[in-house]
């Protein structure tokens, strides 16, 4: 159990990172389902629901998107963990089994983005799905997932910042313990950050969550006016990068290369690069004076034909299944009267005896007639 409080707001929470715990009698093992994992799963689920609902309007067939999302999610989770482990290798080199304990935290957002994009792009090429529209949906989906998933850091009492006098400053037993650790203090001092373990700190998880959810709302509204495929993804990189660069400067648990914050450098690099690309492409679109210069794939004749072919294929499959079902369920019905009835044994014997009795009489009649004729 952890205690997290916001003294100036009069709020205090006693948090248990484990939502559910039960034993498996067969394997004699204990299974723990954590709030961290649940919140990440909820964020992923809502992001996928959004992507599937908007897929058609972006020129993406939902069935093809399933594979992209599935493998992209796996790539994101693996990338997020490997990225974190790579920059905190000293914590795992002596016990590699700790690498798999993701429920204890230790997932890097940028590692997740890199993994998800790389794997997603590969699957798009294999499944012949347009990459840029998928990235547009992914950008908004990332903001949903990050906005909700960051609350897993709150439950674990992590991803907090340096000291602050702001009204929403937070503290807690894990905050005090972390900021009292000599190694952590030395690392922060090298960055020019002095901390008071007993003081209030920035709730960086809250900042990032609100920034991401606000970004999703703004990008969703703007997406109706996008000028080219991939534009929304560029705006995602700009929005998230700008916010992360600032928020990362407050954090006390940054991944470091020497005395440089890795995520801050990456955030600034991606945001600036995306801004330059966006401005250049927008300028070309504006100077072309041609609405079809970079048409949105979802509005093209090519997608209309692709969609029609896909729907026709589905229709044929449906008719084939229906025909097969009717064939397998049909049973030949034969009326009982169509079969010859067998006479009861007793009636048959009486009929045979009657025939035998009548034959002599017929012979006698013929003899009498013959005698009369002669």
- Domains of the chain: which residue ranges? 2-228
The per-residue pLDDT for 337 is 55
**Tokens representing 136?**
């547009």
List the beta bridge partners of residue 251.
Answer: 161
Rounded Cα distance between 83 and 86, Å, is 5
Q: 114: pLDDT confidence band, cut at 50, 70 and 90? A: very high
Residue 263 has pLDDT above 50, yes or no: yes
From the number of C-beta atoms within 10 Å of its C-beta (0-12, 13-18, 19+), residue 361 rates as exposed
Rounded Cα distance between 243 and 114, Å, is 18
| Residue 237 CB neighbour total at 10 angstroms | 23
The per-residue pLDDT for 330 is 60
- Contacts (Cβ under 8 Å, ≥6 apart) of 99: 81, 85, 92
| Residue 313 CB neighbour total at 10 angstroms | 10
Residue 369 has pLDDT above 70, yes or no: no
Residue 332 has pLDDT above 60, yes or no: no
The per-residue pLDDT for 48 is 94
DSSP 342: P
pTM over 0.85, yes/no: no
Q: Per-residue pLDDT tens for 98-109?
A: 888 876 668 888
List the beta bridge partners of residue 373.
Answer: none
From the number of C-beta atoms within 10 Å of its C-beta (0-12, 13-18, 19+), residue 33 rates as middle
Kind plus residue range of the DSSP H or E element containing 360: helix 345-373
**Dihedral sign, CA of 245, 143, 209, 16?**
negative
Average pLDDT of 51-75? 94
For a pLDDT cut of 70, what percent of the chain falls above it?
Answer: 87
Rounded Cα distance between 107 and 84, Å, is 6
3: left (phi over 0), alpha (psi -120 to 50) or beta: beta
78, 115 Cβ separation under 8 angstroms: yes
Kind plus residue range of the DSSP H or E element containing 4: strand 2-6
Q: Per-residue pLDDT tens for 216-226?
A: 999 999 999 99
Q: What is the mean pLDDT of the chain?
A: 87
Q: 32: pLDDT confidence band, cut at 50, 70 and 90? A: confident
Residue 353 has pLDDT above 80, yes or no: no
């Amino acid at each position: 159990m952890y205690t997290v409080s916001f003294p100036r707001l009069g709020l205090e929470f006693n948090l248990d990172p484990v939502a559910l715990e039960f034993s498996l009698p067969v394997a004699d093992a204990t299974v723990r389902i954590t709030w961290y994992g649940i919140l990440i799963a909820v964020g992923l689920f809502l992001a996928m629901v959004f992507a599937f609902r908007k897929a058609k309007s972006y020129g993406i067939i939902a069935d093809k998107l399933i594979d992209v999302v599935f493998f992209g999610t796996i790539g994101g989770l693996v990338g997020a963990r490997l990225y974190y482990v790579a920059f905190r290798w000293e914590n795992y080199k002596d016990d590699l089994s700790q690498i798999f304990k993701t429920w204890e935290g230790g997932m890097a957002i940028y590692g997740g983005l890199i993994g998800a994009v790389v794997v997603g792009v590969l699957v798009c090429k294999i499944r012949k799905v347009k990459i840029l529209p998928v990235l547009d949906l992914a950008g908004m989906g990332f903001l949903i997932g990050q906005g909700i998933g960051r609350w897993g850091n709150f439950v674990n009492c992590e991803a907090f910042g340096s000291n602050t006098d702001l009204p929403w400053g937070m503290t807690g037993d894990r905050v005090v313990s972390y900021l009292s650790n000599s190694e952590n203090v030395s690392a922060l001092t090298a960055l020019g950050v002095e901390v008071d373990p007993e003081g209030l700190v920035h709730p960086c998880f809250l900042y990032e969550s609100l920034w991401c959810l606000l970004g999703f709302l703004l990008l969703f509204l703007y997406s109706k006016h996008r000028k080219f495929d991939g534009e929304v993804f560029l705006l995602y990189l700009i929005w998230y990068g700008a916010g992360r660069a600032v928020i990362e400067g407050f954090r006390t648990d940054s991944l470091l290369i020497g005395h440089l914050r890795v995520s801050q450098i990456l955030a600034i690099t991606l945001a600036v690069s995306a801004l330059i690309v966006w401005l250049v492409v927008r300028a070309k679109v504006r100077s072309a004076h041609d609405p079809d210069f970079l048409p949105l794939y979802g509005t093209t004749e090519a997608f209309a034909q692709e969609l029609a072919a896909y729907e026709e294929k589905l229709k044929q499959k449906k008719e084939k299944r229906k025909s097969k079902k009717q064939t397998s369920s049909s049973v030949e019905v034969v009326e009982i009267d169509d079969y010859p009835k067998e006479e009861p044994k007793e009636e048959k014997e009486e009929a045979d005896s009657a025939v035998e009795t009548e034959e002599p009489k017929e012979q006698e009649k013929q003899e009498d007639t013959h005698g009369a004729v002669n």
